[in-house]
Structure 1
Amino acid sequence: MKISIVYISIFTALAQAASRTSPPSGAIVVAKSGGQYTDLQSAINSIPASSTSSYTIFIQPGTYNGQVYIPNTVKGKITIYGYTTNDQDYNQNQVTLVNSLGADVAGSNDASGTLRAHSTDFKVYNINIQNSRGSGVQAIALSTQGNQQGYYGCKLLGYQDTLLANKGTNVFNKCYIEGATDFIFGQQAVAWFEKCTIAISGAGYITANGRDSDTNPSYYVINSSSISLKSGVSSSVKTYLGRPWRAYARTVFQNTAMSSVVRPEGWSTWSVALDNVYYAEYGNTGDGSKGTRVSWAKQLSSPLTLAGIIGSTSWIDMNYWNNVSSGTTTTTTKATTTAAATTTKTTAAGGGGCTQSLYGQHDIVDTAILFFGWGRAIVNTYVNIVYAGIYFLK
């Protein structure tokens, strides 16, 4: 008697394409024409600094040139939405903030930022933020200098020092972050990156954490994300996961898909002693995760948790985090049936390029899958995937 195994994968997906193409009620509208303001800075300036009310700003499609500064004197919560046809996919963003300014001219890293966010309780959705200065100088796209800041479905575009995650607690969910040299860096921020796409545009280092003492809270965690070359960049380009800007640098990559763009040694040195540097990994996949790492880096026995690093998560948009969109939803249903016996990869829902393994090949039985859908139905319905194994005896 011969036993054969046939795997039948039945995917029933309730696809909800969530758009945000009109302003929420009461929002301040920024538009090239027809809005209350023609630039974001003017909208920010209209908010009374002493007010503790919450404010929503909606930006109509377009490219908006110039710097934007949100001072720490602003007391109210600010949420900024960019026009999008799918709020779970940064590729559908239709609003770009762009400026070209290097730190050499601006006088400091923060001062060069296209968006300089210094206030607390600040959220940004579906906006592209770019410093177009180019290579050869530090030029920040986004500078975070406040507590409880969340960035959802955004694209951060630069070359050297794209993201200055410098102070407070920051989360980045389903974002695209592009650069070459130290393009995620800062000194005091606790920053969590979830389902983000990290795109390498040139040889260098992804992170440069500047934690300078054992009492400094700074911690960078990149979780369930992907690292790959920017489209069109030579395959000869390689990068390190990070190098320590200060002697207590602390960074972890976990559950992240790493292409061969990541150097086999993983981490690099800088000009500081390594005794107190904490660089670690857990559960990473892909060719870039397979190399022999430097002896002073660590492999964790269990993953870090969001609450364990960030603390209270009450300020984080967990609906967006769990693929439940807040825009206007259009629901379509798709059903497919496929037979498979090999490992399959897919793009994570709405992640704009975050690659995860949905099911892997085992000797006898593949693992079951629970896959969260995206969008928001009236009752906030999640997507369930049914995975069935059918055994035939011959």
Structure 2
Amino acid sequence: MKIGKFTFLAIAAMLVPTSAAITVVVLPSAAQAATAPVAGGIYTLVPGASGKCVQVPSSSNASGTLLTQAACATGSTYQEWKVVASGGKYNLVNVGSGMCIDDPSGSTTSGTQLQQWGCGAAQSNQLWSLTGSSATPGKYEVVNGASSECISDQGGSTAGNNPIVQETCSDISRMQIAFNLVGSAPTTGTTTPSSQPTVASDGTGKYTTVQAAVNAVPANNTSRVVITIKPGTYNEIVTIPSNKPYITLEGLGTSASQTVIVDNHSNAGGYGTGGSATVFVEGHDFEATNLTMSNSYGVGSQAVAVNVEADRAVFNNVRFLGNQDTLLVNSYRGYYVNSYIEGTEDFIFGAAVAVFNDCQIYAKATGGGTITAASTPSGNTYGILIYKSTITGAANNKTTLGRPWGAAAQVLYSQDSLSATIATAQPWIDMDGTPWTGARFDEYDNTGAGATTNGNRPQMSSSTAANYTPQKYLAGTDGWNPL
């Protein structure tokens, strides 16, 4: 049974799973000469016909905001775009909002106005290839991966607030885009626009600890601050306070395992379960990418790696390491994508709405253990969704899918690959006198050796599953869609 569940105030706003990698410095003028775009660089995008900058109008952080052009303004982060490599193409990520240039719904219609939307993993309508202009060297046709249409200044207008659209590609001025470098160019092949990381334990960064970098962020900040972290092991407790939203922690290694934030508290030390965490996330619109968060306390006590108490938190390519109670999804909404979670018992637990998309989940207890312990409030339709993920474990035919920390617990395993680690005959179990049969436990369209069906394995119908998608879980009242 869990104890010490903490509750903090989080304020709803917008976030995306991928964001612009900047340090906590003011960026220089956009008015620089066009350069060859490099992955990790930050640029203004200027159509040749107008000489104006592609922008997110009104400094909007909302998904669906339609893009326009305006006179280039020094230091306007909503006119600045980071080039992020993805599968041979690129995302174009706005520095101000952290969102991607998006062809709405993958439209193939010429003239469709482009928008910003939360960046998704390898979404073709957010991926762009860059083709050098033959007519105007130094400029580029920017071609969408879904529609094969090019970014264009509608009608070649020189007017401010003119729509930025996609059109059938042609090497003409309104589709010849100059990439004007903002700040220093990155070294080819790197993922950061500056050679100096924000945090480096060896002293080569601006700060030597992650918490020092977080402390330097102004309270009640209104735009995204990305804290880049040099590969290494950071033995510390990190707290993202509720008055510091829009913070991203980004590891700069070639893999998530190279940048590790770790501590070894447990509830046995008087901290309570929630208070034993290595990382506390309280500020809304938090993001973490390409790093590891770990609690190295051994087996025998509840020891949390990450305690998430923030709305619209996104974890992309993050490793969560621990034993019992690794990841506390305490409240609000969180999206976990392309990530790895391991533990021994109840290692994904809490009252939040939490979606795990394309994740690797590993049950490490050799004697078997339980993956989820949801405490979903009875008034909430959605709790924990494990979607298109792979579940493996050290034990054979012993790992259980979940047990109810609260009577109304809601957990759905949807379209997952369940290995032989799953206790096929009885994959849902009671918890401290709370029967699993009264909880909202379901499976849908799972595969693998652990995906057999019987009377102890409720199966959701296809018609019902249509209302239990990641988008439905996360939408809330504001339509949030980080996918």
- TM-score normalised by length of structure 1: 0.69
Alpha-carbon distance between aligned partners in 2 of 1:168 and 1:27, rounded to the nearest angstrom? 34
1:279 aligns with 2:441: yes
1:205 aligns with 2:370: yes
Match of 2:401 in 1: 241
Q: 1:16 aligns with which of 88, 104, 110?
A: 88
Match of 1:266 in 2: 427
CA offsets 1:205-247 (integer angstroms, 9 cap, x no match): 00000124x2246510000000012xxx4x4472100000111
1:29 aligns with 2:198: yes
Alpha-carbon distance between aligned partners in 1 of 2:479 and 2:247, rounded to the nearest angstrom? 16
Alpha-carbon distance between aligned partners in 2 of 1:191 and 1:305, rounded to the nearest angstrom? 12
Alpha-carbon distance between aligned partners in 1 of 2:471 and 2:396, rounded to the nearest angstrom? 38
Alpha-carbon distance between aligned partners in 1 of 2:381 and 2:273, rounded to the nearest angstrom? 21
Match of 2:287 in 1: 123
Counterpart of 1:185, as a letter, is: F
Counterpart of 2:418, as a letter, is: M
Deviation at 1:93, TM superposition (A): 3.7
Structure 2 CA distance for partners of 1:217 and 1:114, relative to 1, 3 Å:
farther
Alpha-carbon distance between aligned partners in 2 of 1:92 and 1:128, rounded to the nearest angstrom? 6
Counterpart of 2:363, as a letter, is: I
Structure number with the bigger relative contact order (C-alpha 8 A, sep ≥ 6) is 1
| Residues 290, 316 of structure 2: 8 Å contact kept | yes
Alpha-carbon distance between aligned partners in 2 of 1:307 and 1:20, rounded to the nearest angstrom? 33
| Residues 411, 440 of structure 2: 8 Å contact kept | yes
Alpha-carbon distance between aligned partners in 1 of 2:481 and 2:246, rounded to the nearest angstrom? 13
| Residues 313, 334 of structure 2: 8 Å contact kept | yes
Match of 1:182 in 2: 346
Alpha-carbon distance between aligned partners in 2 of 1:20 and 1:78, rounded to the nearest angstrom? 24
Alpha-carbon distance between aligned partners in 1 of 2:460 and 2:480, rounded to the nearest angstrom? 30
| Residues 150, 316 of structure 1: 8 Å contact kept | no
CA offsets 1:313-369 (integer angstroms, 9 cap, x no match): 876554xxxxxxxxxxxxxxxxxxxxxxxxxxxxxxxxxxxxxxxxxxxxxxxxxxx
Q: 2:333 aligns with which of 169, 179, 185?
A: 169
Deviation at 1:292, TM superposition (A): 2.4
Match of 1:157 in 2: 321
CA offsets 1:169-215 (integer angstroms, 9 cap, x no match): 1000000000110000012x100000000011001100000124x22
Show structure 2 runs of 5+ residues with no match.
Answer: 1-85, 91-187
Alpha-carbon distance between aligned partners in 1 of 2:436 and 2:429, rounded to the nearest angstrom? 10
1:194 aligns with 2:194: no
Q: 2:461 aligns with which of 300, 304, 308?
A: 300
Structure 2 CA distance for partners of 1:140 and 1:293, relative to 1, 3 Å:
farther
Deviation at 1:50, TM superposition (A): 2.8
| Residues 20, 83 of structure 1: 8 Å contact kept | no
Alpha-carbon distance between aligned partners in 2 of 1:96 and 1:17, rounded to the nearest angstrom? 28
Alpha-carbon distance between aligned partners in 2 of 1:45 and 1:53, rounded to the nearest angstrom? 16
Structure 2 CA distance for partners of 1:139 and 1:21, relative to 1, 3 Å:
farther
Structure 2 CA distance for partners of 1:153 and 1:314, relative to 1, 3 Å:
farther
CA offsets 1:277-318 (integer angstroms, 9 cap, x no match): 1000101000100152516x3433243212211116876554
Alpha-carbon distance between aligned partners in 2 of 1:131 and 1:283, rounded to the nearest angstrom? 33
**What are the residue-to-residue correspondences of 1:1-394 with 2, within 5 Å?**
16=88, 21-24=190-193, 29-32=198-201, 33-74=203-244, 76-85=245-254, 93-187=257-351, 189-202=352-365, 203-212=368-377, 214-216=378-380, 219-229=383-393, 233=394, 235-236=395-396, 238-264=398-424, 265-270=426-431, 271-274=433-436, 276-294=438-456, 297-302=458-463, 303=465, 304-311=468-475, 317-318=482-483
Counterpart of 1:159, as a letter, is: N
Structure 2 CA distance for partners of 1:217 and 1:282, relative to 1, 3 Å:
closer
Alpha-carbon distance between aligned partners in 2 of 1:111 and 1:144, rounded to the nearest angstrom? 11
Deviation at 1:84, TM superposition (A): 2.9
Deviation at 1:250, TM superposition (A): 0.4
| Identity fraction in percent | 33
| Residues 22, 83 of structure 1: 8 Å contact kept | yes
Alpha-carbon distance between aligned partners in 2 of 1:249 and 1:194, rounded to the nearest angstrom? 19
Counterpart of 2:398, as a letter, is: K
Deviation at 1:105, TM superposition (A): 1.1
Alpha-carbon distance between aligned partners in 2 of 1:269 and 1:44, rounded to the nearest angstrom? 41
SS at match of 2:371: strand
Show structure 1 runs of 5+ residues with no match.
Answer: 1-13, 86-90, 319-394
Structure 2 CA distance for partners of 1:70 and 1:59, relative to 1, 3 Å:
same
Counterpart of 2:226, as a letter, is: T
Match of 2:38 in 1: none
| Residues 128, 155 of structure 1: 8 Å contact kept | yes
Structure 2 CA distance for partners of 1:275 and 1:284, relative to 1, 3 Å:
closer
Alpha-carbon distance between aligned partners in 2 of 1:63 and 1:247, rounded to the nearest angstrom? 40
Match of 1:326 in 2: none
Alpha-carbon distance between aligned partners in 2 of 1:92 and 1:98, rounded to the nearest angstrom? 13
- TM-score normalised by length of structure 2: 0.57
User: Which has the greater radius of gyration?
Assistant: 2
| Residues 23, 29 of structure 1: 8 Å contact kept | no
Deviation at 1:54, TM superposition (A): 1.9
Aligned residues: 292
Counterpart of 2:242, as a letter, is: N
| Residues 247, 272 of structure 1: 8 Å contact kept | yes
Alpha-carbon distance between aligned partners in 2 of 1:283 and 1:238, rounded to the nearest angstrom? 21
Bigger strand fraction? 1
